[in-house]
Amino acid sequence: MTEWLAGPRDDPGERAHRVVAASLRAAYAWTVRQQRRDALREVARMTGVVMEGHGPGSGPTTPLALVACLRGGLGRLPAVAAGADEDIAQAVLLDGEDRLTADAYDLACEYALPVGGLSESEQWMPTWTWMRAEDIRRRTFAELIEGDGQESYVASRQFLVEHPAGSLAELRDRISETGVRPPRRGYTGIPADQLYHAPGGEQWWWPCAVCRWPMGVTGPTVRCRYRPHAAVYQLARGRKPASRPTLRRIDEGRPRLAVPSARSADGAGCLEFGVWRFVVVPGASELRVKQTLEALGATVVLWPDRDRCDLRVRAGDKEFEVDLKEYRSPHRLIADLRAKPPHVRVLLPQTHEHQLGTLQTALPALRVTTETKFRTEVRRALRTA
């Protein structure tokens, strides 16, 4: 077995990780096969990685057989069924029209990693299909750290979280006024599948009420690519073709979330998917937790000492340091915590508190708490003081 495929470890979990990562790349390449002449070659390369992950006589042996598996649950791939969690085994990466599904954007992207050696495909494939989430974060933070010290780093990182999309002219003005340093790749055009094409020819987009990034548009349905940002909307009918489109809420999620207003796509842009998914999404939770604790009377510092931890909290005479972990896949979270044990306590946000038992069972020595429990702990410390 060649190390460029298998790497130094070869347990069932690592095999499943490689197979899911290759499947994600193959799925993306399949969706752009009409635009990229080398896309089918990438599907074939990833089929080879999937075959290696299964071994002789198991799993798909042709690109079309792999694509067929991508249209069904990934659990059809024996290596995934044997070595991954139930959520990813049930994930479907291609829909009936061979478009990437919500599972691909929301869950499978946490499994991305470079597989199959270096290739020209990485020049045209988005980073989130082949680069580890930790590497995307590290690269983004390294660019922010190049600024003028801790204050500049925090301001630039917070700017990304609070302004992941918008009018490019307004964003340039804000950047100039504040002196923040966005990533070098900066803002790009809003992807076509996150735009609504009105009958009159205008294009519109809607910011997620939680993270402010453009929501995905599938037919009449509009929702954030990140499932825990739970609101689901539908285009309202009865409006004139030339008027600004409106949405109505069709789920039974958080009632406090406001229905966003449509924004013109003319001159608009957003951060690339990888930066949004692995920097903005957890950052939105970090800012929310900070504001909640400050409302109780605590003093909270974001990303102290250039990211020694996510939150340093002072409550009375007690100080707490926590790292917020927001993974859709508890399997990936556990694997990453084993590979890089945290030096401070892990904090699960409200949307992920259900993962506490799984983490404690898999990692009994891990210091972990939930947002609800941590808030109670801080409130007790303030009351004692």
Q: What is the pLDDT of residues 165-203, one digit of tens each?
A: 999 999 999 999 988 888 887 899 999 999 999 888 899
Which amino acid does the sequence have at 89? A
Please check the confidence at residue 41 and state whether its pLDDT lies above 60: yes
Residue 62 vs residues 30, 48, 49, 180, 215: alpha-carbon distances, Å: 14, 8, 11, 49, 35
Q: Are residues 269 and 146 in the same domain?
A: yes
Least confident of 143-147, 326-330, 340-344: 143-147
293 and 320 share one domain: yes
pLDDT digits over 260-311, tens only? 999 999 999 999 999 999 999 999 999 999 999 999 999 999 999 888 899 9
Total tally of structural domains belonging to the chain: 3
Whether residue 264 sits in one domain with residue 340: no
Residues 289 and 223 in one domain: no
In a shared domain, residues 152 and 220: yes
Looking at 102, 131, 160, the residue that finishes a domain is 131
Q: What are phi and psi of 304, to 5 degrees?
A: -65, 155
Q: Give residue 5's pLDDT band: very low, low, confident or very high (50, 70, 90).
A: very low
**DSSP classification of residue 277:** I
Domain co-membership, 127 together with 140:
no
Residues 289 and 235 in one domain: no
Q: Where are the beta strands (DSSP E) in 173-317?
A: 187-189, 196-197, 203-205, 216-218, 221-223, 232-235, 247-249, 263-264, 268-271, 299-302, 311-315
The mean predicted confidence, pLDDT, of the chain is 91
Q: Match 């490689």 to its residue by tokens.
A: 18
Looking at 253, 273, 293, which one is the last position of a domain? 273
Q: Are residues 283 and 156 in the same domain?
A: no
Distance of CA 186 to the CA centre of its chain: 17
Confidence of residue 4 (pLDDT cuts 50, 70, 90): very low
Render pLDDT for 238-250 as a digit per residue (tens, 0 to 9).
556 567 899 999 8
Q: Among residues 101, 131, 161, which one ends one of the domains?
A: 131
User: What whole-number percentage of the chain has pLDDT above 90?
Assistant: 76
Q: What's the pLDDT score for residue 373?
A: 98
**Same domain (yes/no): 358, 331:** yes
Are 364 and 372 a contacting pair, CB within 8 Å? no
295 and 239 belong to one structural domain:
no
Q: Looking at the structure, tell me whether residues 230 and 297 fall in a common domain.
A: no
234 and 313 belong to one structural domain: no
Domain of 43, in residue numbers: 3-131
| Tens digit of each residue's pLDDT (9 = 90 or more) over 196-249 | 998 888 999 999 999 999 999 998 999 999 999 978 999 986 556 567 899 999
